[in-house]
């Protein structure tokens, strides 16, 4: 399994980094996780071809995780894609994504390739290939919007954290979270890699919680330019054994496990 950080910035725009996104590559499949504003340029910057992406998974629909989808699909179409594209989305969000693409004039009859929507539910293992799968669990990132649900009853407030597995290798990705308890949604698993956002939860809290699950490596992502010096200072002050274990992810960083 190979992990490539396509972007590591938070929702705040950066001149030097792209919004949070990553590619998880198994032996036979490249899965793009989130596709916010600028994702097409971000993939180009990382040296990855648009049409090498077999599927896209959305953690939630905040603009920095989602709004680049139509532009990316247009680029795939312009590059004469003919292989199907999978879109993995929570079942409550499928209609929103589908309508978003149609409203962007990406009509199925004019695409040139098929888009397959593959919906998931919490705690159901979804097989991507025979050896590559994931489990999603809802976290609390969007709970502050619950007060608007009566006014906007069709609004889905799903935001997922994910456990990815290929054979015996495990990666936990928090996506955006809302509380420190969200860091432990998959506490029964010991991951090879734990990837956490570092905007909505303090780095100190992340480190304190995550080291207890004995992850092999820990990467912090989804942080603003303003946070870099503070996070770097915190990481530099850690004991040597943790300095080797906990890293600040950067755009285009990649590694294999």
Q: What percent of the chain has pLDDT over 70?
A: 100
**What confidence tens digit (pLDDT) does each residue in 80-114 have?**
999 999 999 999 999 999 999 999 999 999 999 99
Q: Quick: pLDDT tens for 115-131.
A: 999 999 999 999 999 99
CB 232 within 8 A of CB 198: no
What is residue 87's three-state secondary structure?
strand
Residues ≥6 apart with Cβ < 8 Å to 125:
133, 134, 135
- Residue 216 corresponds to which tokens in the numbers above? 């092999």
Cα 241 to its chain centre, rounded Å, is 27
**Can you give the residue ranges of every domain in the chain?**
2-249
Task: Render pLDDT for 143-175 as a digit per residue (tens, 0 to 9).
Answer: 999 999 899 998 999 999 999 999 999 999 999
Tokens 């285009």 correspond to 252
- Which tens digits make up the pLDDT trace of 227-245? 999 999 999 999 999 999 9
Please tell me the CATH superfamily of domain 2-249, with its number. Ribonuclease Z/Hydroxyacylglutathione hydrolase-like (3.60.15.10)
| Structure tokens, 214 | 């004995």
**C-alpha 165 chain-centroid distance:** 15
The Cα 13–Cα 21 span in angstroms is 14
pLDDT of residue 103: 97
pLDDT band, very low/low/confident/very high, at 212 (cuts 50, 70, 90): confident
Strand partners, 119: 89
Residues 63-91 have a mean pLDDT of 97
What is the full DSSP assignment across 27-69?
A: SS-EEEE---TTHHHHHHHTT--GGG--EEE-S---HHHHTTH
Range list of H helices, the chain: 39-45, 63-66, 69-78, 94-103, 203-210, 228-236, 240-243
pLDDT band at residue 187 using 50, 70 and 90 as cut-offs: very high
Beta strands 55-57 and 85-90 are parallel
Q: Let me know if 124 is exposed, middle or buried by CB neighbors in 10 A (0-12, 13-18, 19+).
A: exposed
Confidence (pLDDT) at 15: 96
pTM: 0.97
């Amino acid at each position: 399994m190979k992990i490539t950080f396509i972007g590591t910035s938070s929702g705040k725009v950066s001149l030097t980094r792209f919004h949070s996104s990553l590619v998880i590559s198994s032996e036979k499949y490249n899965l793009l996780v989130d596709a916010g504003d600028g994702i097409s340029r971000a993939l180009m910057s990382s040296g990855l071809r648009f049409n090498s992406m077999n599927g896209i998974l959305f953690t939630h629909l905040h603009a920095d995780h989602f709004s680049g989808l139509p532009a990316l699909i247009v680029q795939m179409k312009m590059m004469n894609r003919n292989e199907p594209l999978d879109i993995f989305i929570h079942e409550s969000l499928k209609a929103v994504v589908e309508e978003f693409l149609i409203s962007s004039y990406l009509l199925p009859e004019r695409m040139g390739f098929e888009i397959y929507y593959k919906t998931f539910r919490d705690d159901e293992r979804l097989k991507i290939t025979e050896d590559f799968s994931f489990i999603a669990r809802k976290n609390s990132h969007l709970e502050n919007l619950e007060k608007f649900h009566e006014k906007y009853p069709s609004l889905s407030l799903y935001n997922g954290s994910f456990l990815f597995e290929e054979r015996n290798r495990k990666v936990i990705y928090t996506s955006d979270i809302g509380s420190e308890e969200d860091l432990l949604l998959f506490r029964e698993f010991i991951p090879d890699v734990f990837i956490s956002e570092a905007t909505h939860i303090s780095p100190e809290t992340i480190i304190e919680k995550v080291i207890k699950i004995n992850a092999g490596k820990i990467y912090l992502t989804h942080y603003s330019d303003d946070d870099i010096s503070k996070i770097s200072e915190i990481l530099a002050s850690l004991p040597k054994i943790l300095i080797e274990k906990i890293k600040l992810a950067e755009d285009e960083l990649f590694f294999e496990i």
